[in-house]
């Protein structure tokens, strides 16, 4: 199923604090990768949790296909997958196998189907050798892959990824990118938060910048280089400086990054 997700006039504050998000508007289309870029503490994670229904905004509303998100919870959760920045926040089963199988069992699949899917996704992520281990005994990178496996195993329509590159090495980062693009090909909604501008340019169809709870955008990758970086008070990535000295235009550099 395809989903159009719209957040309108979102404000949010935690108890006793200043507003973390202010008058935020964002649209997420099916078959697209939406990236929210900002420094630590800018409000990226809070926005992601509101968009996924794990937090309720103080003001404003989120709509899924024109319906208020709060009115279609909890049924909508079977369509949503959320990867937290810290995998320790979402791993709680006694073995890796049970962790990946958990969502499938809650959906009522037979154990044969559960086993088939668990082994399929574990092969995809290269974690078959971890299935009998306890999640808490793994490295952070391994935990991240197990947490990701526990989500993609049930093939959600909407994928929310909070700083997904954290604790992943280069090869696993590229594997993650492949999975993101495979979801896009299937007309899924993908929302990614990151502080990496180069990562945002490499995968993003639409890019939003966020600083101190204020969101700007959306920008295309080129628009983000030309206008969005100013929103973040960020420097242009080094690759643009180096390639610019070689006479390459920003459009050519973006194509190079996205095709690398």
For 178-225, the pLDDT digits (tens) are 999 999 999 999 999 999 999 999 999 999 999 888 999 999 999 999
Sign for the pseudo-dihedral over CA of 52, 53, 59, 60 = positive
pLDDT of 38 > 80? The answer is yes
Q: Is residue 219 part of a domain?
A: yes
Q: Is residue 163 part of a domain?
A: yes
pLDDT of residue 74: 93
**Angle CA 54–212–165, to nearest 5:** 60
pLDDT of 129 > 80? The answer is yes
Q: Of the candidates 152, 176, 175, which has an alpha carbon nearest to the alpha carbon of residue 164?
A: 176
Q: Is residue 229 part of a domain?
A: yes
Q: What is the CATH number of the domain that holds 183?
A: 3.40.50.300
Q: Is residue 124 part of a domain?
A: no
Q: Which domain holds residue 185?
A: 5-86+156-259
pLDDT of 247 > 90? The answer is no
pLDDT of residue 232: 82
Give me the mean pLDDT over the 170-178 stretch. Answer: 93
Tokens describing residue 110: 């037979």
Say how many domains are in the chain: 1
Percent of the chain at pLDDT exceeding 70:
100
pLDDT of residue 79: 96
Q: What value does the mean pLDDT of the chain take?
A: 93
Give me the mean pLDDT over the 75-85 stretch. Answer: 96
Q: Is residue 119 part of a domain?
A: no
Q: Is residue 210 part of a domain?
A: yes
Q: Is residue 102 part of a domain?
A: no
pLDDT of residue 32: 94
Confidence of residue 99 (pLDDT cuts 50, 70, 90): very high
At what angle are helices 96-106 and 111-125 packed, to 10 degrees?
Answer: 130
pLDDT of residue 143: 96
Instruction: Please tell me whether residue 77 adopts helix, strand or coil conformation.
Output: helix
DSSP E strand boundaries for the chain: 5-12, 21-28, 32-37, 59-64, 67-68, 80-83, 158-162, 189-194, 206-211, 214-219
Q: Is residue 117 part of a domain?
A: no
pLDDT of residue 31: 92
């Amino acid at each position: 199923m395809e989903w159009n997700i719209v957040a309108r006039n979102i404000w949010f504050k935690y108890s006793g604090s200043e507003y973390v998000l202010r008058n935020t508007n964002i649209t997420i289309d099916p078959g697209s990768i939406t990236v929210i870029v900002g420094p630590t503490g800018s409000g990226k994670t809070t926005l992601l949790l509101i968009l996924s229904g794990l937090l309720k905004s103080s003001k404003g509303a989120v709509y899924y296909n024109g319906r208020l998100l709060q009115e279609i919870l909890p049924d909508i959760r079977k369509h949503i997958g959320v990867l937290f920045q810290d995998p320790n926040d979402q791993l709680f089963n006694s073995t890796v196998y049970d962790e990946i199988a958990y969502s499938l069992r809650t959906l009522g699949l037979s154990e044969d189907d559960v086993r088939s899917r668990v082994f399929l996704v574990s092969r995809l992520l290269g974690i078959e050798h971890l299935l009998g281990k306890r999640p808490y005994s793994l490295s952070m990178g391994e935990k991240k892959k197990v947490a990701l496996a526990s989500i993609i195993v049930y093939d959600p329509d909407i994928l929310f990824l909070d700083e997904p590159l954290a604790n992943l090495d280069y090869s696993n980062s590229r594997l993650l990118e492949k999975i993101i693009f495979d979801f896009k090909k299937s007309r899924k909604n993908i929302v990614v938060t990151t502080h990496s501008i180069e990562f945002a340019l490499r995968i993003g169809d639409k890019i939003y910048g966020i600083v101190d709870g204020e969101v700007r955008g959306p920008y295309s990758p080129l628009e983000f280089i030309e206008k969005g970086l100013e929103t973040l008070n960020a420097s242009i990535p080094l690759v643009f400086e180096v390639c610019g000295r070689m006479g390459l235009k920003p459009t050519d550099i973006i194509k190079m990054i996205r095709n690398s």
